[in-house]
């Protein structure tokens, strides 16, 4: 029996997140093929490897076609067991670790998931950055704006919150964000508490039509979500950012990943 979807199994002795991230990037290149993802994480001893081997083979039997296994596995005994499966393997460590050992003149240390965890100072700074982003979301607090790495401004629902959180989680950046509201436009100047931080302010803007759609989901038939008001707010915000010399980005057709990487380039923030 064949199936219309090709099963992709992410296998790892850790979380499998590295394998899955790569898999999403690779497989999205193949249009017109539907994939069914499956995850088998924490395969970190030979017994689990044998169970995993059996599950991979079962999937192949069920599908009538061998599954694709995308794998990070630092334990060579487990790896050898898993490779007995009837599957198409994309083995990240096999492909890259051995050659890297030669290049670096160093043996790898077989440490699962060393790139995240409490013992790792970088991990703790990511969590601290996320807490900062949450505490400084939407102008809730300006207690610590001087310690922000970046402050995003823009009208409500222009994408500030998801971008701030992504910047914190992915790049350990302390990202605050501050809404531009009609009162600011009437006053004709930026909120005064932002004035000292012009050098780290970046703006987000968005097409009024898309803003209207997003706000309508939140609060339909209100002044807040009306297309007319969205047009007014976006124009007023862009005018203000222009006058203050704040560089801004249009979020209409960008993912938070793309936006975050562009902001990182602006900051020239090379860790």
Residue 121 is a binding residue for a second copy (CB under 8 A): no
The first and second tokens of residue 193, run together, are: 């508490």
By CB under 8 A, tell whether 123 contacts a second copy: yes
Say if CB 133 and CB 167 are below 8 A apart. Answer: yes
Per the structure block, which two tokens stand in for 39? Answer: 């995850």
Q: Which residues of 97-130 are buried (b: 16+ CB within 10 A; e: fewer)?
A: eeeeeeeeeeeeeeebbeeeeeeeeeeeebeebb
Name, in order, each residue with C-beta under 8 angstroms of 181's C-beta and a sequence gap of 6 or more: 155, 156
Q: Can you tell me which of 77, 228, 258, 266 binds a second copy, judged by CB under 8 A?
A: 258
* Closest to a second copy by CB, 42 or 185: 42
Backbone phi, psi, residue 36, to 5°: -115, 105
Question: Is residue 164 involved in binding a second copy (CB under 8 A)?
Answer: no
Helices (H) and strands (E) in the chain, counts: 10, 8
CB nearer a second copy, residue 210 or residue 226:
210
Contact status: 106 vs a second copy (CB under 8 A): yes
Cα(221)–Cα(212) distance, rounded to whole angstroms? 10
Judged by CB under 8 A, does residue 117 bind a second copy? yes
Stretch that binds a second copy, among 117-125, 174-182, 185-193, 233-241 (CB under 8 A): 117-125
156 is an interface residue for a second copy by CB under 8 A: no
Our measurement of the distance from residue 215's CA atom to the centroid of its chain's CA atoms, rounded to an integer in Å, reads 23
| Contact characters 34-73, a second copy, x per CB under 8 A | ---xxx-xx-------------------------x---x-
Residue 267 makes contact with a second copy by CB under 8 A: no
- In the shown chain, the binding pattern of residues 6 to 35 toward a second copy, with x for contact by CB under 8 A and - for none, equals x-------xxxxx--xx-xxx-xxxxxx--
Interface with a second copy, residue 172, by CB under 8 A: no
> Per rule CB under 8 A, is residue 182 in the interface with a second copy?
no
**Cβ within 8 Å of residue 137, ≥6 positions away:** 161, 164, 176, 177
98 in contact with a second copy (CB under 8 A) = no
């Amino acid at each position: 029996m064949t199936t219309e979807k090709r099963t992709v199994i992410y296998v790892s002795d850790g979380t499998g997140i590295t394998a899955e991230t790569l898999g999403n990037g690779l497989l999205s290149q193949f249009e017109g093929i539907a994939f069914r993802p499956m995850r088998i994480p924490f395969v970190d001893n030979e017994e689990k490897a044998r169970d995993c081997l059996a599950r991979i083979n079962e999937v192949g039997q069920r599908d009538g076609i061998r599954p694709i296994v995308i794998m990070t596995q630092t334990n060579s005994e487990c790896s050898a067991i898993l490779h007995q499966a009837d599957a198409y393997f994309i083995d990240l460590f096999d492909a890259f670790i051995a050659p890297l050992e030669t290049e670096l003149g160093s043996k790898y240390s077989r440490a699962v998931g060393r790139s995240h965890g409490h013992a790792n100072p970088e991990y703790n700074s990511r969590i601290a950055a996320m807490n900062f982003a949450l505490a400084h979301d939407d102008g809730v607090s300006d207690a610590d704006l001087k310690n922000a790495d970046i402050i995003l401004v823009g009208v409500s629902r222009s994408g500030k919150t998801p971008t701030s959180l992504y910047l914190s989680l992915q790049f350990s950046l302390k990202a605050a964000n501050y809404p531009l509201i009609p009162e600011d436009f009437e006053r004709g100047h930026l909120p005064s508490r932002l004035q000292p931080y012009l050098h780290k302010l970046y703006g987000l803007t968005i097409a009024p039509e898309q803003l209207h759609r997003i706000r309508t989901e939140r609060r339909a038939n209100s002044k807040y979500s009306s297309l007319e008001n969205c047009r007014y707010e976006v124009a007023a915000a862009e005018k203000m950012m222009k006058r203050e010399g704040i560089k801004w980005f249009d979020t209409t057709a960008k993912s938070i990943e793309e936006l975050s990487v562009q902001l990182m380039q602006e900051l020239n923030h090379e860790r």
